[in-house]
Every structure is written in C-alpha cells, then in structure tokens.
Structure 1
Amino acid sequence: MTVGVLRHRHVELLRQHRVTDGLPPGHVRPLHVPDRYYTWSQVAAESVPTRLDRLSSVRLRPDPYTGADLGASQSVLDAQAPELFDLAEVAGWAVRTPFYAGVFPTGSMNALCRPMPGSGVLVLVDSGVLHLVPDVLKIMIVSRSVFGDSPLLDPDHAASALAEVFNAHLFGNGAAVARPLPELAGQRLDLLRLMTRRATQFVVAHEMAHVLAGHLIVSWRQTDPNTPVGALDMQAVGWPREYEADRMAARIMLASLDGLSPWERDTVEPYLVGAVLLVLALHEVVAVLADAAGRVLPFIGSHPPPLLRIQAMVDHLAEHLRTPESIAVAADLATWLDERIPAVLEWFTLVDVPPQP
C-alpha cells in the first residue's frame, strides 16, 4: 500500500469527525490570521483588560473545532517526513511499513497511532502542538541573552505572551491560535527553525518507534471522549514501551549530528537536546496548567508522568552525547520555562476572576 492510500484514509478520518469537508490535493485553505504583533515592544504591552479579553474570548469558543489551518500545518509534517525517514535509517531502523503523519485536533500533546489494516500506520499529530512548540520556543529565544544579543522581552511580558500561547492550546481545541508574534531574523531565526524542526520530528519519531519496535502488535485500543472531536481511539502499549519509544526517538534525532564537524556538533548538540527535552517539559507544563484551569486532557494516563520521562531521557542521553554541557544547556532552558509558569498561572486566575476596577 502507498502513502497515498494513507493520505486518503486520513482525509476520510477528518470527514468522519466533521473536521473538514475536504482537502483537495495541493489546495491550502485560506487561513484567518488574527491581528498580529509587528514589533517585540508591542508584545503584551496592551492594557490588562485588553489582554484578559483576548484570553477569555478563546475560552468562550462555542464550537469544538472549526477548521483552522489544516493545510498549512500538514505541509509542515510533509516537509519533515523525508528527513525523518533518512535519520531513522542512519540510526539503524529503516522504515518498511507505510507510515503517514497527518495533522489532527487530538487535544493531546502525544501524537496518536492509528493502524490502518491493509494500508499501514497513520499517526495523528495534534494541530495545537504544531502551534505551541514554535510559539514557546520563539518567546524563550527572545527572552534570553543568545549569541551576545540582549533579550527582546522582559520576564513579565514573556509570561503574558506564554499565557496567551498556553491558553490557546488548552482552550482553542487546535483551532484557535495565539496572536501571532513578530518574525525573527539572523541567528535567532536559525535557532528557532532548528529547535522547532527537531522537536516536531521527535513527536513523530516517538510514534514511528512504536511501529519499528513492533509495539502495535501487542497494543490495545483505548478510547477517550474528551478530545476536540469527541470520542477518539488510540493504541495503548504500556509505560515500558513508551520509555523504549522515547529512547529510540532520541537516537533517531541524534543521528542528525552524524557527519558534522566537531565544532558544528558542539554548537548544535545542546539545542538538539534542548528541543527533545522541551517536548517532554511541555507535557508537564500543559498538565499543570490544565489542572489549574479545570481542563481534562485526553489520554492523560497513557504515558508515564512527564517528570519520569524527562529523568529517563536525561539518563539515556548522557550515554550518547559528546559533552555533558548539552544537558546543562537543556536544563537551563527548562528552568527558564519553569520560572515563568507561576506568572502564567496568575494570568489564568485573572481570566476567571478579573481584577476589580
């Protein structure tokens, strides 16, 4: 069976859940882009009531899903797939099973495997993740001193911007996006592209690892009614196999360092590790914010707790990295994110209980 068959199955799956009424080949549906920020001095600089109004408007969306930019998000996954297959082969695992990653509003930070009998394996990558990862990375990059440049956002404005991004992820059902942030340039843009690509590929590589390791043969169906499209199935494999998939996905990502000069590897490796660990750190952050906001995350018990996955991943990576500084850089990025979360929680509280005039 060809990938084309899986693509057809994916479109049918979208139709079954009334997510879209068709994705003609080569056609990208027009994307409604909300008013954006044009300079970093504008970010989170409006009045508190204005920012709270924008956060609350996302929470009041009446529809579970309205279509968003499926075509544009799908093109991101399509562009990354060939390299990911090559990296898997370099790591020692050639992909023989027809495999297709399709964007879908699953409501979960974890992508979902959907075996398609007679066709291959369809992986549903949450549409919200494809917004959350680059937005968080962009805020992180401009809020820190990198490449000798001073930060473009102070801690308070960074926290407000993060609150909008996480609010859209938790309440937008993969359809709403935060107000678009300014574009980056130069080395900051290169770093954003590198880390976003590797983080997104790690999400897909984790699901690919389940296929390569034969986990789906011993899996069982798990249904959760709390997704943006109602009840949705996934193939559960148990925590030991989830840890194994994390390790395999990390090895696939590390294969991207093969062929680099020692200087290039020393430069890239810390940010590659940072991208991998950021995915797991975001699981923890989203879980904390969801709990505070009274949201129920789909398939929350299908994977080990994020902190355990992070520790297991750090232990695994420590055996395969060129320098321990790579873990230190990744830990520094995670610490920066952790330090912003209390302020993000304050914004979430203000949405529920607005300040008195």
Structure 2
Amino acid sequence: MTVEELRGRHVELLRNRRVVDHLDAVPRVADTGHRYHTWTQVAAEPLPTRVARLADVRVRPAAYRHGHLHDLQRTLDALLPEVLHLARAAGWTVTTPVLAGVFPTGTLDGLCVPVPGRGVLVLVNSALPDLAGAVLKIMTGALPNYGTPPLLTAEQASYTLAEALNAYLYGNGAVEARPLPELSGQRSALVGLMLRRATQFVIAHEVGHVLAGHLVNSRRWTDPNTPVGVLDAQSVGWSREHEADRIAAMVMLHSLDDLSPRELDVHEPCLVAALLLVPFLHEITDRFADELGLAVPFAGSHPPPVRRIQSLVEHLAERVRTPRALDLAADVATWLEDQVTDVREWFRLVDEVLI
C-alpha cells in the first residue's frame, strides 16, 4: 500500500464517522409555501401571525432534513480543499488527514474531534451557514449602501433578524428562518463571497489547531447540553484559540497576495468583514442566550467573543494593506448592535404569548 493509498484509507475511515454520510441522500424539496417570494411579502402578515411563527419554533422545533444537511455537507466538501490549498500557499502543509462534517454542535463554530490512527474530524455547526447567510442577506437588503431604495424597512429587517436568531437559538441546528427572496447584482455577489469566506475561516481555524500541534496536548471536553445530547470535543485553552485565529487569518489574507491594488481595495474589506462575522454573531447569540436562560454548549472552550474579536482586530490591523480594510467589518458590527433592542422586543412579544 502506497502512502497515498494509506492516506486515502484514513480519509475513508474518517468519512465513516460523519453523520451525513449515513443519511439517505434524499433530494431537497423546495417548500415554496415556507418562503417569502417577493420583498413586499416579507413580514407582511398581521402581528399575531408573525409572533406565533416565532413561538412555534420554540415549542415545536423541526426535524433534521436529510436534503438540507447534504447540501451543507457538499458546501464543506468544496471548501475544505480550498482551505488546505490556501494553507499550503501560505507555507503550511497539513500532513494529518482532515475531514469536515456538518453537525449540530450548538455553537457558532467548529469543533475538532481527533480520531486515533485516522486523522481529525472537524465538526461545523449546521446552523452556522444558515444564520450567517440570513444575517448577510438581511443586512444588504436593509442598508442603502448596497442599493437604493433598500429592499427592507427597519421593521422588516428587525423581524427577519429575530426569525433568524430565534431559529438558531431554539431550532437545534435543524431550523432555517423563513427564506428571503433571492438577491441580485452587488447584493448577491457580496453575500455569496462573505458567506463563503466566513465558512472558510471557521474551517481554517480548526485546521490551524492541527497545524500548530494543539491537539497533541488538548484535553477532552464533554458537554451534555448540545442539541444531540452528550458530545465530546477537544479543549486547547484560550491562548491557543487566539493562535488558531491568527493562523487562520494569515492563511486567508495570503489568498489576496496576487491581486492588483484596485482589486485589493475591493476584496480585502470583504475578507476582513467575513473573518469577523462569525465572532460578531457569536457575541450576539451568546448575549441573547444568556438573557433567555439558554445553555451554550462548550461555552468555556473558547475565549469570550468580545475578547476574541479584539484580539483578531488587533492582529488584522497590523497586516491589512488597504486603508479602509476594517470599515466594512465595523459597519457589520454597528448594524448588528443597532438591531439588538428591536430583536429583544420581538422576543418579549413571544414570551408574552407563551406565558
């Protein structure tokens, strides 16, 4: 058996540990009655109907849909080789077999699960791309920066954001918020690019642990509060989490090396905002989880999101090459913060219904 054949066998054994690969590959059926078809339809129902929909997610979270999980898995299967290629281009070669698997971890991040004698399985929260994609869509539809007139009013934006956060917090990684209409032009391009880059960063962070040898000295972390019950992962300590963020950021920034100055002006702010998007969302969801009395799985295994954001911003500020590289990220953070009060009011209305 050659080295490549042995490596292939290890990957095959890792694949046998992924949940999705043991689910029927049922084609995803479009639920046309569940989505908004036009922007004027968004949050246009009577107030009691909108509040009832939020409440329904809390009391009757949906079952996992095989087709949707397979869609998410295909995305990870496409992005992992890209991340490994970017790491090699930046001077890091991953020699350990690594495979990414979509899984409802209950936290907006990935988790490393070493499989002795086989490699490392990276579990990526199934709700992460759903929430990140929805938030990006709402933001670009609500702000005039991305096209005028905006596609969403302030009330529509706050309600759809409440839908997305409610689905994440109570949906066990299975519930998508009611899908918004498709975007076009600049809005569509920006959402697609940032979602792809944000997901790459999550994978690159976990690959960073492998590259830095963190898992050799990691300790087993067991949490019973995940959406699927007791789940094991590896805890490496906060300093190493920051190091993995820095490695992932350097890997991603190297992907811009061959761009012209004009291209860099366009792409670097999008990349920086994408790198910070998941920590931003992590901070918001953790805040709401605390207010709602919800458990956050593996909460202590990573630094507090605010500290993680600060560390990553300081690291990026020393390495970006365009004057406005951090501006888009600041806009995202400001917009999210501005929505908190209105989202909190939607959640208060749901609490009143459920009392």
Shift of 1:67: 5.0
Shift of 1:233: 0.5
Shift of 1:317: 0.3
Q: 1:321 to 1:54 in 2, by over 3 A?
A: same
Distance 2:287 2:67 in 1: 26
Shift of 1:5: 4.4
What SS is found at the alignment partner of 1:103? strand
Aligned match of 1:158:
157
Distance 1:139 1:344 in 2: 13
Distance 2:287 2:18 in 1: 31
Task: Report runs of 4+ in structure 1 exceeding 6 Å deviation.
Answer: none
Q: 1:242 to 1:130 in 2, by over 3 A?
A: same
Aligned match of 1:120:
119
**Letter of the 1:261 counterpart:** S
Q: Deviations over 1:57-88 (max 9, x none)?
A: 11112678565621111011111122211111
Aligned pairs (5 A) from 1:147-186: 147-186=146-185
What is the TM-score of this pair, normalised by structure 2?
0.93
Q: Which runs of 5+ in 1 are unaligned?
A: 15-19
Distance 1:147 1:126 in 2: 29
Aligned match of 2:100:
101
**Letter of the 2:23 counterpart:** L
Q: 1:328 to 1:66 in 2, by over 3 A?
A: closer
What SS is found at the alignment partner of 1:325? coil
Task: Determine if contact 1:318/1:324 at 8 Å carries over to the other structure.
Answer: no
Q: Deviations over 1:30-53 (max 9, x none)?
A: 356361011112111211111111
Q: 1:185 to 1:3 in 2, by over 3 A?
A: farther
Aligned match of 1:316:
315
User: In proportion to residue count, which structure has more helix?
Assistant: 2
What SS is found at the alignment partner of 1:146? helix
Shift of 1:355: 10
Aligned match of 1:39:
38
Aligned match of 1:343:
342
Task: Determine if contact 1:84/1:201 at 8 Å carries over to the other structure.
Answer: yes
Q: For 2:28, which of 7, 30, 40 is the aligned residue?
A: 30
Alignment of 1:195 with 2:208, yes or no, is no
Q: 1:80 to 1:346 in 2, by over 3 A?
A: same
Task: Determine if contact 1:243/1:312 at 8 Å carries over to the other structure.
Answer: yes
CA root-mean-square deviation: 2.1
**Letter of the 1:205 counterpart:** A
Q: 1:251 to 1:341 in 2, by over 3 A?
A: same
Distance 1:351 1:3 in 2: 50
What SS is found at the alignment partner of 1:38? coil
Task: Determine if contact 2:13/2:118 at 8 Å carries over to the other structure.
Answer: no
**Letter of the 1:348 counterpart:** F
Q: Deviations over 1:287-314 (max 9, x none)?
A: 0111122210100111111111111111
Aligned pairs (5 A) from 1:10-29: 10-12=15-17, 14=19, 22-23=22-23, 27-29=25-27
Task: Determine if contact 1:6/1:122 at 8 Å carries over to the other structure.
Answer: no
Aligned match of 2:131:
132
Aligned match of 1:88:
87
Q: 1:11 to 1:23 in 2, by over 3 A?
A: farther
Alignment of 1:213 with 2:212, yes or no, is yes
Shift of 1:326: 1.3
Distance 1:183 1:313 in 2: 32
Q: 1:64 to 1:300 in 2, by over 3 A?
A: farther
Q: 1:12 to 1:216 in 2, by over 3 A?
A: closer
Distance 1:348 1:180 in 2: 19
What SS is found at the alignment partner of 1:258? coil
What is the TM-score of this pair, normalised by structure 1?
0.92
Q: Deviations over 1:137-170 (max 9, x none)?
A: 1111111123553321122210100000011111
- % of aligned pairs identical? 54
Aligned residues: 349
Q: 1:149 to 1:72 in 2, by over 3 A?
A: same
Q: 1:148 to 1:180 in 2, by over 3 A?
A: closer
Aligned pairs (5 A) from 1:52-63: 52-61=51-60
